Chains A and B, each alone.
Chain A
């Protein structure tokens, strides 16, 4: 168990280092940081001095090492655009994105999994067929279109929900939250649905096909032969076995919610890191882009780690491979 976790952490670090290399290359070789920081009329000498001061004349491996060491301390340098520390810029924006992604994830799991279970248990029922058809639409419509349609209906026409921004927020320490005001909560609804809809249809279809698969297995047939109730079979035996493969995919999907938030945040003018990223692309604000890249990489790796641990908790076959193994004599 412990060995397994250590191995996973090691792998995660390797992945992060690779992401770091990409971020560093971006930082170092796309555009000229000095050009971006100084005005038109800066002299050659001043530019060289700045270059030296920024360490841009050091050999690349040394620069990479500095870059990673700084990143680990949350130090990504100054934004080209606002000259503020990138770390602080990002940190200000992280709560908005995390809260949005969290709500989308809750929406995806608590709606998508039950829908998948239902359509898997009653594949021939008309309502299952309807859900299947709707989910096809959900998969094929692009996110921004869904967002705009939702705004059109619920904000512009019905005036039920706001069309942009976070609404009223409350500051708890450095964390600025939506969860403590009614207007904040209302502001979350449309963006969370927009962000989650695509993943929801994916999860639903995945759960459905896994459920169909599991219902055909011998152990479900044997469970029926033992006279277990439908509830015990469907929501105990079948659901648990369905979730084993679903956990992996769901974990990856939820990780990508944070990345996909870029589009949703743009549509809803949501002040999160995704929006910050789009702005920084427009201004070639390389330090912000590099930091964003690393942040997303970090989230992905963390989600993966959690998924692996969950897998461990659910599937006894993995647990005993790690340590106690088979009991002697068999």
Chain B
């Protein structure tokens, strides 16, 4: 698996906070999330529905839907801060430096434009190519993503492709201007189980060939185990554990991750919700004080009920859990920094 070849991370997310102002006060949907992605690296992101995975991904591509907004922290791409760029500046980065793949290939493509037109317009938006050069590149890309008869298929409309073929077109669109990072938000969830593995394999191969890093959001632990270099486990808007995929899968340190890894389905078998652990993730309005996982945790101690753990070194990974603090989960340490 490709590893970091450079000291400078490609993407740095630092203390990211995403808020939704509502009538009943502000909802904190993503709270103090930090992680890096190295050039060419695949970072898997897992977590129950509502954990904040998509919001984090949308914030990175600068497409948080209002009223959601980045309320704190920063996002850097190749050292350059991108979370506070004006719309037009960020637009030039989208597609060119950061590509995106969404869940449903049936709705990601404009039904009234041929796939060739959608490819060519994306290429020409970001690269100084003539129409015929752009078209040649588009055909090349369609061939690369495994669409047979690309010269002819380029003039076809989305409805003339099957779901799997459409997701291949979407991948071609995400890659067509040569981005360094792709944010793929559940790229296979909407697809037939039989073709999920193909699409993941394609994505993995292309990104390795192009040296593109991937933030791969998925519910499928099998996909993570097969594809990712590192994995971040999110819970209630925070990162519960992050580390090399082998370590997180085999030697999870956070009780939540342990529960998740209890039974890893084989590749392609989908777990719609990761519910091997009793109970459910709290709603944003009902996150308990202390560790957000404490209502479901069998290891919890006094401290877990009052003090919120941040990521700390835990073996070969980093986990947000007091079990890995020298103080342990024992006596409550009543500090003013207790989160409400």
User: Does chain A have a CB within 8 A of B161?
Assistant: yes
CA of A227 to CA of B99 in the docked complex: distance in angstroms?
A: 9
Cα distance, A221 to B173, chains bound together (Å): 13
Query: Would B113 and A237 count as touching, CB distance under 8 A?
Result: yes
8 Å CB interface, A32-59 against B = none
Asked whether A316 lies within 8 Å of B111 as measured between CB atoms, the reply is yes
Q: Per-residue 0/1 for B85-129: is the Cβ within 8 Å of any A Cβ (1 yes, 0 no)? A: 000000111111001101010011111111000000110011000
CA distance A217 to B107 in the complex (A): 8
Query: Would you list which residues of chain A between 227 and 267 have a CB under 8 Å from chain B?
Result: 227-230, 232, 236-237, 240-241, 244
Q: For chain A residues 191-231, which have a beta carbon within 8 Å of chain B?
A: 217-219, 221-230
In the complex, what's the smallest C-beta–C-beta distance from B121 to chain A, in angstroms?
6
Q: Is the CB of B95 within 8 A of A228?
A: yes
Q: Could you give, for residues 125-164 of chain B, a 1 whenever the CB lies within 8 Å of some chain A CB and a 0 otherwise?
A: 1100000000000000000000011001100110111100
Q: What are 13 A-B contacts defined by CB distance under 8 Å?
A: A219-B109, A223-B110, A224-B91, A225-B63, A227-B91, A227-B92, A227-B126, A228-B95, A240-B110, A316-B114, A317-B111, A327-B153, A330-B162
Residues from chain B with a CB closer than 8 A to the CB of A223 are: 110
The residue on B at minimum CB distance from A240 is B112
Determine if A329 is an interface residue (Cβ-Cβ < 8 Å): yes
A219 lies within 8 A of B121 (CB) = no
Give every chain B residue within 8 A of A73 (Cβ-Cβ).
Answer: none
- Residues of chain B touching chain A, judged by Cβ–Cβ distance below 8 Å, are 61, 63, 91-96, 99-100, 102, 104, 107-114, 121-122, 125-126, 148-149, 152-153, 156-157, 159-162, 165, 170, 173-174, 177
| Known interface pairs A217-B107, A221-B63; A227-B112 also in contact (CB < 8 Å) | no
A64 to chain B, nearest CB (A): 45
A47 to chain B, nearest CB (A): 64
Is the Cβ of B91 less than 8 Å from the Cβ of A218?
Answer: no
Q: Which residues of A contact B173 (CB under 8 A)?
A: 222, 226
Known: A222-B102, A330-B161, A330-B165. A229 touches B125 (CB 8 A): yes
A219 touches B110 (CB 8 A): yes
On whether the beta carbons of A222 and B125 are closer than 8 Å, the reply is no
Please, how many angstroms separate the alpha-carbon atoms of A222 and B122 in the complex?
11
- The answer for the CA separation of A320 and B161 in the assembled complex, in Å, is 12
By beta carbon, the residue of chain B nearest A321 is B159
Question: CA A95 – CA B174 in complex, angstroms?
Answer: 55
CB contact list, A102-152 vs B, under 8 A: none
Task: Kindly name the residue among B110, B126, B165 whose own CB sees the greatest number of chain A CB atoms within 10 A.
Answer: B110
Known contacts A224-B63, A225-B94, A316-B111; is-contact A218 B104 (Cβ 8 Å): yes
Task: List 14 additional contacts besides A219-B111, A221-B63, A222-B173; criterion CB under 8 Å.
Answer: A218-B102, A224-B91, A225-B95, A225-B100, A225-B174, A226-B122, A227-B126, A236-B121, A237-B110, A316-B157, A316-B159, A317-B159, A327-B160, A330-B161
Does the CB pair B112–A241 fall under 8 Å?
Answer: yes
Closest CB in chain B relative to A232 CB, distance in Å: 6
A326, B125: Cα distance in complex, Å:
30
Residues of chain A within 8 A (CB-CB) of B94 are 224-227
Residue contact B112 to A222, C-beta cutoff 8 Å = no
A329 CA to B162 CA, complexed, in Å: 9
Q: For residue B114, which residue of chain A has the nearest CB? A: A316
Cα–Cα, bound, A232→B91 (Å): 12
Q: Is the CB of B96 within 8 A of A227?
A: yes
A residues near B (Cβ < 8 Å) are 217-219, 221-230, 232, 236-237, 240-241, 244, 314-317, 320, 326-327, 329-330
Residues of B within 8 A of A326 (CB): 160
Q: Are B111 and A227 in contact (CB under 8 A)?
A: no
**Given B61, B92, B112, which contacts A316 in the complex, CB threshold below 8 Å?**
B112
CB distance from B94 to the nearest CB of A (A): 4
* Residue pair A218, B108 in contact (C-beta under 8 Å): yes
Out of A219, A232, A320, name the residue touching B107 (CB < 8 Å).
Answer: A219
A225 B61 Cβ-Cβ under 8 A: yes
CA distance A223 to B100 in the complex (A): 10
List residues of chain A with CB within 8 A of the CB of B95. Answer: 225-228
In the bound complex, residues from chain A placing their C-beta under 8 Å from that of B162 are 330
A236 to B118 CA separation, bound complex (whole angstroms)? 11
Question: B152's closest neighbor in chain A, by CB?
Answer: A327
Contact present for B112 and A244 (CB under 8 Å): yes
Q: How far is the CA of A221 from the CA of B170 in the complex (A)?
A: 13
In the assembled complex, the Cα of A227 lies from the Cα of B177 at a distance in Å of: 10
Of B104, B113, B160, the contact of A330 (CB 8 Å cutoff):
B160
A227 and B159 contact, CB distance less than 8 A: no
The interface residues of chain B lying within 8 Å CB-to-CB of A224 are 63, 91, 94
Question: Which residue from chain B places its CB closest to the CB of A238 in the assembled complex?
Answer: B110
From residue A3, how far is it (CB to closest CB) to chain B in Å?
A: 20
Q: Tell me which residues across on chain B come within 8 A of A241, comparing CB atoms.
A: 110-112
Q: What's the Cα separation between A330 and B92 when bound, in Å? A: 35
Of listed B63, B114, B121, residue having the most chain A CB within 10 A: B121
Q: A317's contact among B91, B96, B157, by CB below 8 Å, is which?
A: B157
Cα–Cα distance between A320 and B174 once the two chains are bound (Å):
27
Tell me, in angstroms, the Cα distance from A237 to B125 when the chains sit together.
14
Listed residue (A228, A230, A314, A315) with the most chain B CB atoms within 10 angstroms of its CB: A228
CA distance A4 to B301 in the complex (A): 73
Closest Cβ neighbor of A326 among chain B residues: B160
Give the docked Cα–Cα distance between A328 and B3 (Å). Answer: 41
Nearest Cβ in chain B — how far from A202, in angstroms? 24
Among B104, B112, B149, B173, the one with the most A-chain Cβ atoms within 10 Å of its Cβ is B112
